[in-house]
Structure 1
Amino acid sequence: MKKLILLSSFLMSVTALSQDHFAGLTNSSRVGILTTSINPAELANMSNKFEINVVGVSFNVANNKIGFSDLTSDKDIEKLLFNGNEPVNLRIDAEVYGLGFAIKHKSWALAITSKINGKLDAVDVDTKLGDALVNSGLNSVLGSSSINNNYNQRLTGTTWGEVGFTLSKNLLDKEKYKVNVGATFKLLFPGSYSNLGLDKFNGTINNVGSQVYLNNTTANLNIAYSGSLANSFSNFEDYSKSVFGGLNGFSGDIGINFQWKDEPETNPKKNHNKYKFNAGLALRNMGAMTFSDDNNYKTNYTLNIQPTIANPQGLNLNQFENIDNLQQIETILISQGYLTKQPEKKDFKVKLPTLFSAYVDVKIISRIFVSGYIQQKVNDDNSNDQITAQNSFTLTPRVNLGFFEVYSPWTSNEISGFNGGIGFRVGGFYLGSGSIITAVINDSKQADIYGGFRLAFL
């Protein structure tokens, strides 16, 4: 358990890591492969006839407890993480776009893309329980403390690959407006998965001498693992070992786009994708993938910890201090009689984070735009078979000079709150962050960085 928290703190301290991937860039009027990540219908607005995506990388960290200044102070990060009564929420994830190709012909546009995803999440972890598990050797729990939760708290990690096929069509193209529709069909390649879920946890934590015990406890316990994350859920190398498994899932995106065109210019080529107002709606990530591996296990237990002659104080939490995989947790609980069911070897399905998104991009004056983007998750992050996502709203002022573009995304996320950053594009190269400004001046609880390169021609 301790390694999970140490990893999270380490990642936040060494890299400017937002939960909005490529924040500010995807709403640009310079439309290409990345724009389809928020709406496949946009591909018919592609700024060039051809585009080759070489690479695009986005790293993200967000939490609701630790501020940027805490990382550079002498404060105990682990104690800060479990301070107060609000449950701990932590999201670490990465997206890597690989080789992709897009082509536009008349009213049609087609793209083939590849992407790798990795996530490590803590969802609604009770501060008292987390403190006892992570800091048990530090005697963080004094006396006795009762916990009574009616929700599911999770630690989960996932890796998977995607190959996407996007088709977009211009339905109407009038003098002053046009309407596009589009869809993306994605082949999913599940790599590794690990999930620990504690639902409706009720129990008492006692500090006896230098030991911390859990007693009079009941909960519904879900343990699932597959691939390299069966060995460790907090080691980065285990995330990178198996990011592209075999084909075993499908998902899809659908969207619609409306543009109010700008006044025509003398040069028709310069007028390509020029507008006064651009808006879109999309429903994304509708689908699931099945994890199947030689070390595949998924089991729903009933956890029951009561005093016995052998263990009158209950379960000693100090023994979990350096635990790094779910098999070890199962072994300890089963060997001490707190779980009576044996682990079940079987395949299991995990849902992608289905999202509804909407946006508008408005031309204020020549070369200056302001866009608004909202993202709303459809599913519940507390479900054991669900990959997580965040609700967010982003406002981005932007100056677009054609070859050069600079923008500043300002985002409100449900986990980390308010964040602001800056980014730029020079031709096909881009670099940005959705939180670097607030991280420096306002003690942000989020950090992110992204960059990449793409080629466009004709």
Structure 2
Amino acid sequence: MKKITLLIVILLVPFCLKAQSHIGFLTDNYSGVHGVISNPANIADSRFKADINLAGASVFGSNDYYGINVWDATRDGYSFDLEAKTNAKDGNSAAINVDVLGPSFMFNLTKNSSIAIFTRARAFVNANEINGSSIESIDDDDTDDYNFDEGSMNLLAHSWAEVGVTYARTLLNKEQHFVKGGASLKYLKGLANTYASGENVSLNYDADGTDLGGGETTGSITTSGNITYARFTDFDTDDYDYETPDASGFGVDLGFVYEWRPKHKDYKVKDSSPYRFKHLNKYKLKIGISVTDIGFIDYKDGIKEAYNITNTDVSEDDFDGTDNIGDFLNTFYTRTNTATGYKVDLPTALHINADWNINGKVYLNLNTDFSLMSKDRITANRVSNMVSLTPRLETKWFSFYMPLSVIEDNGFRVGYGLRAGPLYVGSGSISSAFGSDNNRQADVYAGLKIPIYQNAPKDRDGDGIFDKLDDCPKVAGPISNNGCPVEDQDEDGVLDTDDECPEVAGPEENKGCPWQDKDEDGVLDKDDACPEEAGSSINKGCPWPDNDGDGVLDKDDDCIDEPGTVANNGCPEAVIQKLQKTLNDYAKTILFNSGTASIKAESNQVLSDIITVLEEYPNAKFTVEGHTDSIGSYELNQSLSDARANAVKDFLVKNGVDSTRLSAIGYGERRPIATNMYKAGRAQNRRVEINLVK
């Protein structure tokens, strides 16, 4: 009878399973379509062109009450009740998790996106807040009586099927940063469910408590407290022509993966081709985060009833005589509430995963699974909280992993797993199970698939350009010529593909062509600022300008903004006359010590003013002329005038005037400008003149 089945579940569930699915295998980059179980983003940018799962199952078991030595338990005569170690607590808890992945497949839609379609059957049984003393009471072989004092326990058993579709794509691929995201949408079909919860529940069973007369007795049950009991419609019937209940829903999984790729340049060809090297893991560190199993299944025709179960000395025969638990409860206890339809939450969980690529084949994975469903939520399945550290050896056709896990209520576990082509098998606790005298967990998974891997690119000619991108895949050639060999006919070091003059040698900086001199001015075009117009090498190959158009080039024109005459170095006569007068007005004030060519100090300012005037005409040349009066001998006057003219010239040169612009000459007493008969006239004749050379 089904009521007996339920009692077995209720009483033995503390010894059932409590763990996650595929521990170790899901850390593998070659887990393929299985990757959607923990994070739907995993299938994007995967190592597969396609992956087909034929069949696979994962079953896990543990409890926090009984512990055994597996080797001892296999021998004949082992007594579970007597030899198993117990750990009774006020709130022992346990669960079962069976996960079957049916025919499923994944494939790439584009270079940036992938899709998966999967089928899955799952079963969970959760039991929380079971009083360990109640179990001890049942185990007591000294008496058939026992007592339950459960307080606020809750029990849930649920199985369902899933059909899901996953879409994942690359969201960011920029240098060393890579991000992908994915989502799974699942249609859920409830297969079976029942749950019960209690508040202040106590039960006393007296094996001989009811007198049947004639010296015969049967057990009696005394209970108190309140319980809620829910189940799908056909759970209480004895008709084994099973039909699935009217129960369905939708679920969602969401996930993202970030990869740090410090050597991203190694995975791009030099011609900026979009080739992705999908056969390689390109990350140094990968971090994934996901939330799975968001949703619920609505049991529309389900029955949920609440009871006050306070009653004394209910006969065991009365219990045995009822057809089902529901009838028994309604007959002997007070129903306080009833409702049709209820929802069962999926085991929503948060997963955080970090994977360190040590050397391309050896990896270290840190994974955490954290239930987002509280133990107090009586309508929710939940996974066990777990942290695992998994070193693994991973290649294309083979992987081996050793998960080291700490699981909620079960402590530290060690397991092994491997993938060999189409076969995957493993356990998250096999080493611990066979190596402990107090083992409270066992799990195993196995399956077959058809993997279709991404292939490494081929380079038959070994020129560093993959065949798909090589215009000459059988003959080596440079990247610049798309993998084809290149000639250099003129042997100038510039390959013909880059040489604009492939038959005439020329430098690389002129694209393989010899330098030209188009205007034939003796300045090569590479150095000629005016390559189309002949000019002077001094002026970078450009002709000298004549801004004022007076026929005197600017370089020789003392008045480049005013038209003048060639005789006046490009200056107009009026300018020359003004310049000459200014210079001579200054020169007349130059004083010498008497009878010598030594310039008096007070004349230095005058000479400085003369220098300023000369700098305004940088291209003009001048002559410094010395004159004397007729007093003294002719020879002495001639010598003195020469000396004084050269003294002025030397001063000007010393203070910055180009010596090539100056000349000096003495005329003695030969060019008087006044009579020497009088003192005033002789003073005018003793002079220095600075004249423009025309």
Counterpart of 2:427 in structure 1 is: 433
Alpha-carbon distance, 1:200 to partner: 3.3
Which residue of the other structure, out of 334, 339, 357, is the alignment partner of 2:334? 339
Aligned residues: 426
1:96 to 93, 100, 104: 100
Equivalent of residue 289 in structure 2, options 281, 298, 309: 281
Give the 3 Å change call, closer, same or farther, for CA 340–299 of structure 1 in structure 2.
closer
**Structure 2 SS opposite 1:45:** coil
Measure the CA separation in 2 of the matches of 1:259 and 1:228: 50
Report 1:375-386 matches (<5 A): 375-386=369-380
Give the Å deviation of 1:138. 6.9
Q: Aligned partners of 1:168, 1:205: CA distance in 2, in Å?
A: 57
2:19 is aligned with 1:19: yes
Q: CA RMSD in A?
A: 3.5
Question: Alignment partner for residue 228 of structure 2, among 222, 236, 259?
Answer: 222
Distance 1:212 1:184 in 2: 53
Number of the residue aligned with 1:311: none
Q: Decide whether the 8 Å contact of 2:404 with 2:414 is kept in 1.
A: yes
Amino acid at match of 2:305: T
Secondary structure in structure 2 of the residue aligned to 1:74: coil
1:277: how far off? Answer: 1.0
1:152 aligns with 2:153: yes
Compute the TM-score of the two structures, normalised by the length of structure 1: 0.81
Counterpart Cα distance in 2 of 1:136 and 1:330? 29
2:381 match = 387
- Compute the displacement of 1:43 (Å): 1.6
Shift of 1:373: 0.6
Judged with a 3 Å threshold, the aligned counterparts in structure 2 of structure 1 residues 227 and 160 are, in CA distance, closer, same or farther, namely farther
Deviations 1:116-147 (A, max 9, x none): 01223332222344555x569973557xx683
Residue pairs, 1:27-42, within 5 angstroms: 27-42=27-42
1:2-81 aligned at under 5 Å gives the runs: 3-4=8-9, 19-69=19-69, 71-72=73-74, 74-77=78-81
What pairs up with 1:169-184 in 2 under 5 angstroms? 169-184=169-184
Deviation at 1:4, TM superposition (A): 3.1
The partner residue of 1:359 within 346, 353, 374 is: 353
Distance 1:282 1:400 in 2: 23
Match of 2:130 in 1: 125
The AA in structure 2 aligned to 1:161 is: A
Structure having the larger proportion of residues in strand: 1
Which residue matches 1:408?
A: 402
Out of 109, 112, 117, the residue aligned to residue 112 of structure 1 is 117
Q: Counterparts of 1:396 and 1:318 in 2: how far apart (Å)?
A: 55
Larger radius of gyration: 2
Q: Is the 8 A contact 2:131 2:150 kept in 1?
A: no
Q: CA deviation at 1:364?
A: 2.3
SS at 2:374's partner residue? coil
- Residues 227, 335 of structure 1: CA spacing in aligned structure 2 closer, same or farther, 3 A cutoff? closer
Higher relative CO (CA 8 A, sep ≥ 6), structure 1 or 2? 1
1:331 to partner: Cα distance: 2.5
Matched, 1:396 2:390: yes
Structure 2 alignment gaps of length 5 or more: 210-216, 270-274, 455-694
Q: What SS does the aligned partner of 2:24 have?
A: coil
Give the match's secondary structure for 1:147: strand
**What TM-score results when the alignment is normalised by the length of structure 2?**
0.55
Tell me by how many angstroms 1:262 deviates: 6.4
2:310 to 279, 282, 304: 304
Partner of 2:330, secondary structure, is helix
1 CA distance for matches of 2:153 and 2:298? Answer: 22
- Tell whether the 8 Å contact from 1:179 to 1:259 is kept in structure 2 after alignment: yes
Q: Does 1:447 find its partner at 2:442?
A: yes
Deviation at 1:407, TM superposition (A): 0.4
Taking only the aligned residue pairs, the percentage that are identical comes to 23
Amino acid at match of 1:279: I
1:84 is paired with a residue whose SS is coil
Indicate yes or no: 2:194 matched with 1:194: yes
- Give, in whole Å, the separation in 2 of the partners of 1:285 and 1:387: 10
Structure 1 residues 86 and 417 mapped into 2: Cα distance closer, same or farther (>3 Å)?
farther
Separation in 1 of the partners of 2:382 and 2:112?
Answer: 36
* Cα distance in 1, alignment partners of residues 180 and 114 from structure 2: 10
CA shift digits 1:382-403 (9 cap, x unpaired) = 3221113211111111011221
Letter in 1 for 2:431: I
Indicate if the aligned counterparts of 2:130 and 2:150 stay in contact, CA closer than 8 A. Answer: no
Q: Matches of 1:315 and 1:394 in 2, distance apart?
A: 49
Indicate if the aligned counterparts of 1:31 and 1:47 stay in contact, CA closer than 8 A: no
Deviation at 1:78, TM superposition (A): 9.3
Distance 2:83 2:134 in 1: 12
Structure 1 pair 185–138 and aligned structure 2 pair: CA distance change class (3 A): farther
CA apart distance, 1:103: 1.7
In structure 2, distance between residues paired with 1:146 and 1:256: 47
User: How big is the shift at 1:213?
Assistant: 5.4
- Closer/same/farther in 2, CA of residues 141 and 383 from structure 1, 3 Å limit: farther
Cα-to-partner distance string for 1:264-289 (whole Å, 9 max, x where unaligned): 37996475333211111111111101
Q: Which has the higher helix share?
A: 2
Q: Which moved more, 1:283-292 or 1:119-128?
A: 119-128
- Indicate conservation of the 8 Å contact 2:55/2:103, yes or no: yes
Cα pair distance change 1:81/1:290, threshold 3 Å: farther
Give the CA deviation at 1:356: 0.9
CA distance in 2, matches of 1:111, 1:273: 20
Distance 1:33 1:356 in 2: 20
Letter in 2 for 1:193: N
Question: Which letter does structure 1 place at the counterpart of 2:448?
Answer: F
8 Å CA contact retained: 1:277, 1:360: yes
Q: Does 1:256 align with 2:256?
A: yes
Supply the AA of the counterpart residue of 1:303: I
Q: Shift of residue 35 of structure 1?
A: 1.1
Letter in 2 for 1:153: N
